[in-house]
C-alpha cells in the first residue's frame, strides 16, 4: 500500500530542495509513495520557475495556483484558500513543505486545519530576528508540523529550546544533495562564463534580494556602494531580481549598477557554474551562503545574522550587515582564501533518502 504526499512549493529555493526529494520519491516507485506537486506561483518569472523545473527534472506540477504579488497577508490568505481546496480533493496522507516562504506557511496552515499531518523539510532554523517574515513563517510552520526534518544539529537544539522534541530528526541538508548531484552537470552544460567573458577565480558573484536590504534605501545604498568599490579591483557579476532593480530605481541608486556586470536572474545550472568558479561570493541569500560553503568559496553575507551558523563558525562566511566599510574589509581579508572543506555539518549527501524514509516510517 502506497502513501500519497502533496508537496507545496512556490519559490526558487524550494524548487531546488524539492528536486532532490522528488527524485528519491520517483526512485522509490508509486507502489510505495505517490507525490502530487502543487506550485503556488509565488515566483512567477520564467527564469525563477519554469527553467528550474526543466533543469532540475522536477515533475510538472499537478496544480499551478498562479498566486503572486500583493502583501504578505493577501498572498498567504489566497494561497491558504487555494491549497485547502487541493487538499480536500486529493486527501493526502502527508503534506510536505520546505523552508520559510509564504507558500510554506500557507501549506502548513491549510493542512493542519484539515488534520492532515505536515512534514517540514528544513525545520528548526532560526535567525532570532522577528522582523523577518521568514522567521515568523518558519516558527509557525514548525509548531504545526508532525515531522520536523532538520538539516543540522543546531536546528535540533533550537527546537528543543522551544519544547519541540517529538517527531524531530536530523536528516541532513537536501541542498547538499543537490550541490553534489548537479555540480559536474553545471560545469559541462552551462555556457554562462563564456557568455560573460569570465575566467575561473577572477570575479566576484553577488546577489541581493531580501526585503530588509532592498526596502531600506540606506542599507541598499551601502551594499551597492560596496559592490561598486569591489568592482574596481575585481569584476562583480550581479544577477538582479526584478524587484531589486525596481527598488534601485525608486531609491535613486541605479548609478551603482554602471560598474557591475548586471544580468537577469539566472537559470539554475548557470548560477551553480558561477558559484563554483567565483573567487568570492557576496549575498543575502540563505541558499547561496550554503552553496558557497559546499563549493569551498569564501562568502560575505550582507545580513546582520544567519541561520547557517556552521558556515561562520568554520571560517567560510563573514557577516557584515549592510555596511559599505565592513563589506570592503571582509573582501580584503577573504578574497585569497581557498581550500578544501573537511567538515560535514550538513550531512553526507543522502538527506533526501532520509526524508523519504521518515515519511514511509511515520
DSSP 147-187: EEEESSHHHHHHHHHTT--TTEEE---HHHHHHHHHHHHHH
Residue ranges, CATH 3.40.50.2000, the chain: 3-173+347-361, 180-334
| Matching CATH number, 180-334, of 2.130.10.30, 3.40.50.2300, 3.40.50.2000, 3.30.1360.70 | 3.40.50.2000
Helix (H, G, I), strand (E, B) or coil at 198: coil
- pTM summary value: 0.88
Residues labelled as active-site residues: 209
Task: Could you list the beta-strand ranges (E) of 171-260.
Answer: 204-206, 236-239
- Which of 113, 100, 272 has its CA nearest to residue 193? 272
Reply yes or no on domain 3-173+347-361 having CATH 3.40.50.1240.
Answer: no
Rg of the chain's alpha carbons, rounded to an integer?
20
CA gap 278, 281 in Å, rounded: 7
- Cβ atoms 193, 272 nearer than 8 A: no
* Rounded (5°) CA angle 54-60-65: 115
Least Cα distance to 197 among 226, 165, 235, 232 occurs for: 235
Place of cell 480533493: 89
Distance, CA of 205 to CA of 33 (rounded, Å): 39
- The one-digit pLDDT tens for each residue of the chain (362 residues) are 799 999 999 988 898 899 999 999 999 998 999 999 999 988 655 554 566 677 777 778 999 999 988 899 999 999 999 999 999 999 999 999 999 999 999 999 999 999 999 999 999 999 999 988 999 999 999 999 999 999 999 999 999 999 999 999 999 999 999 999 999 999 999 999 999 999 999 999 999 999 899 999 999 999 999 999 999 999 999 999 888 999 999 999 999 999 999 999 898 899 999 999 999 999 999 999 999 999 999 999 999 999 999 999 998 999 999 999 999 999 998 755 555 666 789 999 999 999 999 999 98
- Which DSSP symbol is given to 280? E
Amino acid at each position: 500500500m502506497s502513501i500519497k504526499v502533496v508537496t507545496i512549493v512556490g519559490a526558487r529555493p524550494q524548487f531546488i530542495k524539492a528536486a532532490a526529494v522528488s527524485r528519491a520519491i520517483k526512485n522509490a516507485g508509486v507502489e510505495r509513495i505517490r507525490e502530487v506537486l502543487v506550485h503556488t506561483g509565488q515566483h512567477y518569472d520564467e527564469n525563477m520557475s519554469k527553467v528550474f523545473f526543466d533543469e532540475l527534472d522536477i515533475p510538472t506540477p499537478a496544480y499551478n495556483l498562479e498566486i503572486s504579488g500583493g502583501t504578505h497577508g493577501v498572498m498567504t490568505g489566497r494561497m491558504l484558500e487555494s491549497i485547502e481546496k487541493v487538499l480536500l480533493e486529493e486527501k493526502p496522507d502527508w503534506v510536505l513543505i520546505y523552508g520559510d516562504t509564504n507558500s510554506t506557511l500557507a501549506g502548513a496552515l491549510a493542512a493542519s486545519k484539515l488534520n492532515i499531518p505536515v512534514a517540514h523539510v528544513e525545520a528548526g532554523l532560526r535567525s532570532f530576528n522577528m522582523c523577518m517574515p521568514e522567521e515568523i513563517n518558519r516558527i509557525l510552520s514548525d509548531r504545526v508540523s508532525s515531522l520536523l526534518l532538520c538539516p543540522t544539529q543546531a536546528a535540533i537544539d533550537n527546537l528543543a529550546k522551544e519544547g519541540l522534541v517529538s517527531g524531530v530528526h536530523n536528516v541532513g541538508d537536501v541542498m547538499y544533495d543537490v550541490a553534489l548531484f548537479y555540480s559536474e552537470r553545471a560545469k559541462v552544460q552551462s555556457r554562462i562564463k563564456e557568455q560573460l567573458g569570465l575566467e575561473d577565480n577572477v570575479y566576484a558573484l553577488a546577489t541581493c534580494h531580501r526585503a530588509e536590504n532592498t526596502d531600506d534605501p540606506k542599507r541598499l545604498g551601502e551594499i551597492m556602494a560596496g559592490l561598486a568599490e569591489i568592482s574596481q579591483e575585481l569584476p562583480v557579476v550581479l544577477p538582479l531580481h526584478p524587484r531589486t532593480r525596481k527598488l534601485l530605481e525608486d531609491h535613486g541608486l541605479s548609478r551603482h549598477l554602471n560598474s557591475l556586470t548586471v544580468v537577469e536572474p539566472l537559470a539554475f545550472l548557470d548560477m551553480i557554474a558561477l558559484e563554483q568558479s567565483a573567487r568570492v561570493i557576496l549575498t543575502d541569500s540563505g541558499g547561496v551562503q550554503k552553496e558557497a560553503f559546499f563549493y569551498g568559496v569564501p562568502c560575505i553575507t550582507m545580513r546582520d545574522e544567519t541561520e547557517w551558523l556552521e558556515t561562520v563558525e568554520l571560517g567560510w562566511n563573514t557577516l557584515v550587515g549592510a555596511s559599505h566599510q565592513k563589506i570592503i574589509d571582509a573582501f580584503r581579508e577573504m578574497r585569497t582564501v581557498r581550500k578544501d572543506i573537511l567538515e560535514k555539518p550538513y550531512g553526507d549527501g543522502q538527506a533526501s533518502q532520509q526524508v523519504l524514509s521518515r515519511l514511509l516510517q511515520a
